[in-house]
């Protein structure tokens, strides 16, 4: 293909002219036109532009609408989790659906639909539950500070329980030297510092008390054995320097299992009979007057 042909157009007719007003015509070769011009004159889309739109429309897949049965499954999972008082695991959710249903897929889809809402579907300890969105916690905060100081009697009782556990009420009163009021132990148990452990293998089966994890958290202890010893108490000025030579501070332990001299809290029946055999308690004798009355009855 040769160079583009040029034609000179004069002011009059087709004859060539040397006039300065002569103009150069556009190239006759169509290949010289700009290739990136996708629109024709007047703003009308060109055929190339229509072809590109057609290709893009066919290449993008159309969204798949979920079936009514699938939407119903999502509604069931949503309702079951919302109405549950505690988080549910996948096995518990599966009892409300048909065997073979994709429980993880339904949960993932439901979790995605709630991701941008004020309530989110979250997984807690391998179980599912609805929780308020974390970024909205500021709107639900309620600052309430309530200080409750323990009385001196409660502190002394707590210290005795911590160092001498498991201890009964009688043992606490013996160590403290005075009787404790009925509500002292109740206050400590309400605060979460003391808990009933079991019952002492003794007449009456008195309840034994010990400390709790809340006690350790409140006082910043890793274990009850980290309580201050004799040297620490002396250095803190909590003990008199002139102590008896045989004075010792017990080494506290918080073994969760019952000690050999303890019984479960609900002990009864056979344990009562065993305790009666150990104490050699006499059997109650029949009343002679009742026996005579029974013989006189026809």
Domain of 78, CATH number, reads 1.10.10.10
Helix, strand or coil, per DSSP, at residue 262 = strand
93 and 170 both lie in a single domain: no
Asked if residues 205 and 274 have their Cβ atoms less than 8 Å apart, the reply is no
92 and 174 both lie in a single domain: no
What residue numbers bound the domain in which 216 lies? 152-279
186 and 246 both lie in a single domain: yes
In whole angstroms, what separates CA 227 from the centre of its chain?
Answer: 31
Sign, Cα dihedral of 240, 241, 244, 245: positive
Is the model's pLDDT at 32 over the cut of 50?
A: no
Is the model's pLDDT at 27 over the cut of 60?
A: no
pTM: 0.42
CA distance 200 to 208: 6
Q: Which helix (H) or strand (E) holds 218?
A: helix 213-219
Q: Tell me, yes or no, whether 295 lies in a domain.
A: no
181 and 226 both lie in a single domain: yes
Q: Tell me, yes or no, whether 208 lies in a domain.
A: yes
159 and 241 both lie in a single domain: yes
194 and 267 both lie in a single domain: yes
CA distance 83 to 129: 10
Query: How much is the pLDDT for 245?
Result: 75
160 and 125 both lie in a single domain: no
Query: How much is the pLDDT for 275?
Result: 42
Give the model's confidence band at 288: pLDDT under 50 very low, under 70 low, under 90 confident, else very high. Answer: very low
Q: Tell me, yes or no, whether 171 lies in a domain.
A: yes
Q: Which helix (H) or strand (E) holds 130?
A: strand 127-132
Cβ of 41: how many Cβ atoms within 10 Å? 6
Sign, Cα dihedral of 161, 167, 168, 172: negative
Q: Tell me, yes or no, whether 31 lies in a domain.
A: no
Number of helices (H) and strands (E) in the chain: give both, helices first: 12, 8
85 and 123 both lie in a single domain: yes
Q: Tell me, yes or no, whether 44 lies in a domain.
A: no
Query: How much is the pLDDT for 4?
Result: 52
Between 164 and 60, the more confident residue is 164
Query: How much is the pLDDT for 75?
Result: 93
Structure tokens at 211: 């400390």
pLDDT winner (highest mean) among 14-28, 54-68, 123-137: 123-137
Query: How much is the pLDDT for 72?
Result: 92
What domain count does the chain have?
2
For the stretch 99-135, pLDDT in tens is: 888 999 999 999 999 998 999 999 888 889 999 888 8
204 and 272 both lie in a single domain: yes
128 and 166 both lie in a single domain: no
Q: Tell me, yes or no, whether 158 lies in a domain.
A: yes
In DSSP terms, 129 is beta-bridged to 122
Query: How much is the pLDDT for 120?
Result: 92
Q: Tell me, yes or no, whether 77 lies in a domain.
A: yes
The chain-wide mean pLDDT, for the chain, equals 74
Q: What are phi and psi of 200, to 5 degrees?
A: -75, 140
Percent of the chain with pLDDT strictly greater than 90: 19
Q: Tell me, yes or no, whether 103 lies in a domain.
A: yes
125 and 156 both lie in a single domain: no
Between 7 and 93, the more confident residue is 93
Asked if residues 223 and 216 have their Cβ atoms less than 8 Å apart, the reply is yes
Query: How much is the pLDDT for 209?
Result: 92
Between 24 and 49, the more confident residue is 49
Asked if residues 295 and 286 have their Cβ atoms less than 8 Å apart, the reply is no
Is the model's pLDDT at 45 over the cut of 80?
A: no
205 and 245 both lie in a single domain: yes
């Amino acid at each position: 293909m040769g160079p583009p042909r040029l034609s000179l157009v004069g002011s009059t007719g087709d004859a060539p002219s040397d006039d300065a007003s002569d103009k150069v015509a556009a190239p006759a070769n169509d290949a010289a036109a700009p290739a990136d011009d996708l629109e024709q004159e007047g703003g009308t889309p060109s055929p190339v532009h229509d072809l590109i739109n057609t290709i893009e429309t066919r290449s993008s897949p159309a969204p798949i609408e979920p079936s009514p049965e699938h939407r119903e499954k999502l509604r069931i999972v949503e309702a079951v989790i919302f109405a549950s008082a505690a988080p549910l695991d996948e096995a518990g959710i599966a009892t409300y659906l048909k065997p073979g249903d994709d429980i993880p897929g339904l949960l993932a889809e439901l979790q995605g639909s709630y991701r941008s809402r004020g309530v989110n579907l979250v997984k807690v300890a391998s179980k599912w539950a609805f929780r308020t969105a974390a970024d909205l916690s500021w709107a639900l905060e309620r600052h309430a500070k309530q200080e409750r100081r323990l009385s001196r009697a409660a502190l002394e009782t707590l210290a005795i329980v911590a160092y001498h556990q498991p201890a009964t009420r009688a043992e606490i009163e013996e160590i403290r030297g005075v009787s404790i009021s009925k509500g002292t132990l109740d206050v400590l148990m309400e605060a979460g510092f003391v808990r009933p452990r079991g019952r002492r293998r003794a007449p009456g089966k008195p309840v034994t008390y010990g400390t709790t994890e809340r006690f350790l958290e409140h006082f910043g202890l890793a274990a009850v054995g980290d309580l201050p010893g004799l040297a620490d108490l002396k250095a803190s000025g909590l003990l008199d320097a002139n102590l008896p030579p045989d004075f010792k501070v017990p080494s506290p332990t918080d073994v969760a299992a019952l000690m050999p001299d303890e019984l479960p809290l609900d002990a009864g029946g056979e344990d009562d009979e065993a305790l009666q055999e150990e104490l050699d308690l006499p059997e109650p004798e029949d009343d002679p007057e009742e026996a005579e009355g029974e013989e006189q009855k026809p």
